[in-house]
Chains A and B, each alone.
Chain A
Amino acid sequence: MSQTQVPQRRTPRWSRFKSSRVLLLMCLPAIAFFLVFNYAPLPGIWIAFTDFNYRDGIFGSPFIGLRNFEFLIKSGQLWLLTRNTILYNVAFIVLGNALQIAIAIMFNEIRLKYFKKITQGIMFLPYFISVVLIGVIAFNILNYDNGALNALITQAGGDPLKIYSMAGLWPLIIIVVQLWQSTGYGSIVYFAAIMGIDKGLFEAAAIDGASAWQRIRFVILPSLKPTFIILLLFSLGGIMHGNFGLFWNLVGNNAQLFQTTDVIETSVYRMVMSQNNFTTSTAVGLYQSLFGFAIVMTANWIVRRMNKDYALF
């Protein structure tokens, strides 16, 4: 708005504040929450630059600059780890969302009431099963000596596979397990979004003689676009974070698989496992955050250019 001479108005800032008092108040609990639990601890990140000891606390301990970050580089693994982490996350995001959308759409087609209730209830199950148990089950299915998979293969006349020695298979295995665990849970968002689509649109489409596929393509998918973009932008922020529990419990110390399955968190964990070290984990977290931050800012800027509405901020 250009500053033409509009007379007798109070400072726009004050009247803006006054008129949105209530809304501001409604945001207050959330703002307070984030201030207390997220922003207030941030100065503590300083610990990543110190040789921390309990006596002096975070700000009293000696400053050592970037020394805590050196091990990432010295291990020679940084590129491999970054690549693995990002690739896995991209796969999780793309395949995960695609699968979740597909499942949500299909659920929308289900008409049998009890079938729907039961299946939707069951689909949450994987979310609850602890990754530790998943590791045990995966071992039981995939192991060479008495695994169910090899039992099937030998019955069919083939040679049993040494799956735990075949690095190439593991991206597939890990992605399948991750999808197994999170698809049901994630599809709910999309399902609720579909529920929110104006019924009139469906009826209009029906009147227009749209086929099922056209209905999906022209009514459902566009309505899900905002949700997808938001989910995408959110996931991008965490793109440098690996799902530690999943990788650690499936792969563990099996170095034969590291080439294709090692991510930042698992590698760091092994490196500092028997040390008593908070500075390292904070340093690594900082590295991951900075990276993710850069990616998200870029992505959000791109999205904003395309459609202002969809950007996160």
Chain B
Amino acid sequence: MKKRTIVKISAALVALGLSATALAGCTAGVSGDSGAPTKITMLVLGDKPTNGRLEAMLKKLNERLKKQANATLDLFYVEWADWQTQYNVQLLSGDSRVDLITTATDWLFGWENAQKGAFLPLTEDMLKQNAPKTWAQVQKDGHWGLTKFDGKIQFIPEDNYTQYTNHGFFYRGDWAKEAGFPDGTITKYEDFTTYFQWIKQNKPDAVPWDVAGASNGEATLTGYMQSHTDALPLQGVSAGNYAPFETSQENPGKLTSWYMESDQLVKAAQLAKQWNDLGVWRQDAVNYTGVTRDEFYAGQSGTDQHHTQTFIGQIYNNMNTKQPGSDPKMYAFGQENKNLYKDILTHGAMAVSANSKNPDKALQVYDLIRNDKQDYDLLNFGIEGTDYVMKDGKLGYPEGYDPSKDALGSNFWAGRMDQYEPPKVTDDPAAKQIYGDLDKVARDYPYSTLVVNKSAIDPELAAMGSVLSEYIPQLEFGKFDDPAAAIKEMRQKLKDAGYDDVKASVQKDLDSWAKTHKVK
């Protein structure tokens, strides 16, 4: 009996001792370098791929990450069909499901979410210790100031990636040539009337500019404004789906709104009416839900509208394959009057979730996928040989690869680096030149750090949004018989909705921001 008790006690002690050392071992590594690899999840936007390539790539990537940082990466997708609700619901849920969150200050509510406390403020020490390469590079370029709110860094900018997302028209050089434009190049906004007219008369199977839905038709107004004024829109304030406030290059401290105050709006609306009467788009374009880009590729539409990156990455290649000889070109809004802007450096940004359990590890993983070439290649392009091949320094695809079925879909838009982005076989070979031309003309967008106090004006903004959504779709498609009268009506309603109060409030925010920031 006694012996057994002794054995029991000693066994217990041994067990205790072992677990104590194990526990000690667990807490030994400050960054948890011992023990099981930490799983880091990154929130990205897009449809979850189902062809198995992502999983294969992650397997390889995680082998490396395990060795480099004792961590693994997984992706959490916010899918397009319902993206606004799902993105916000994920933040609302406050769960620790995601560690890294893709955000943007111009369209993904970057500042709002930072203000609401969805992101973990990143201290200098955290960044220096866990993401040293990123810290150093952004610091060298002096860009941390772009991401600070309340004096704290809220996210990491994608500031080393050249992209131009300035909007414009894509059109067919071959048809432009036949319409009488020298060399098939259109250089003035109003010239598009001639182009559209020509298509209407000579290509009965094509719609001159097929548009689907009100959001896609806004260019008739905003494009016109950009090409005829020096207005500088404030991205951070929106009423419904519209950005109502601008300053001008001439007078960057003074807030104005061309919806409310500019004569050019009337001219733009009148041109839109002219285009509508001409039959430039479908009669019921506002309700049309077809995929107009595919129509452009099929020769059923003469024009498409989006930004430079789309042109370089998709339009050029697709048009030349599907419509050989169509000589696709782009007319950028603001190219005539030099009213275009470089992309803000927080058009893509990576934040750490306020509820993440492993923020340090998350930053370490981010540092790797951003700066380690092999990790970068795996995440962005996939496994060499199966997902891509390198041909003469250009990124191409293996035989039989079909982008609609075989795409990797990792959608990493928050830390791309120019030095790791090879030119693609499908890119417009003139890409560098296009960037060069744009660089000569484009200005820096100054307001990316302007955070407007919304709570003071939210109801009025919503009311303004309601008024705008009542008039703008019709104005942009030229549906009013008398655009000038409609605009007058709209302006009165905007006034009733509280425009003046909103303007005063935003002007105040602009003034206090201008004290510490210079507009070039």
Contact = CB atoms under 8 A, between A and B. Distances in A.
B50 to A, nearest CB: 21
A68 B459 contact: yes
B248 interface: no
B88 A77 contact: no
B463 A71 contact: yes
A291 interface: no
A228 to B, nearest CB: 36
Interface string A49-80: 00111111000000010011011001111000
Contact of A275 (B92, B117, B118, B238): B238
Contacts of A70: 459
A277 B469 CA distance: 18
Given A143-B288, A164-B283, A76 B88 contact: no
Contacts of B88: 276, 278
Q: Interface size bucket, B side?
A: 35 or more
B493 interface: yes
B214 A252 contact: yes
Nearest to B112: A276
B290 to A, nearest CB: 9
Contacts of B240: 270-274
Contact of A256 (B109, B465, B474): B474
Interface string A177-191: 000000000000000
A278 B470 contact: no
A74 B459 contact: yes
Interface in B454-495: 454-455, 458-463, 465-467, 469-474, 479, 493
A255 B465 contact: no
22 contacts: A54-B118, A55-B117, A71-B458, A74-B498, A75-B466, A76-B463, A135-B287, A136-B289, A139-B284, A143-B282, A143-B283, A144-B283, A144-B284, A145-B284, A162-B283, A253-B213, A267-B466, A270-B241, A271-B465, A271-B466, A275-B454, A276-B116
A46 interface: no
Interface centre among B94, B282, B454, B459 (most CB of A within 10 A): B459
A280 interface: yes
A76 B354 CA distance: 39
A124 interface: no
Contacts of B225: none
Q: Interface size bucket, A side?
A: 35 or more
Contacts of B479: 165, 256
A77 B94 CA distance: 35
A267 B467 CA distance: 10
A247 interface: no
Given A54-B117, A54-B354, A164-B283, A255 B458 contact: no
A261 to B, nearest CB: 12
Nearest to A266: B469
**Interface secondary structure of B, over-half rule:** helix
A55 B466 contact: no
Given A76-B493, A270-B241, A253 B460 contact: no
A178 B71 CA distance: 53
A282 B473 CA distance: 28
B459 A272 contact: no
B275 to A, nearest CB: 16
Given A53-B117, A270-B240, A139 B288 contact: yes
B118 A77 contact: no
Contacts of B284: 139, 142-145, 162-164
Given A74-B460, A253-B213, 15 more contacts: A53-B115, A54-B91, A54-B354, A56-B117, A76-B497, A143-B284, A252-B286, A254-B214, A255-B472, A256-B286, A270-B241, A275-B112, A275-B238, A275-B458, A276-B113
A68 B88 CA distance: 18
B439 interface: no
A271 B459 CA distance: 9
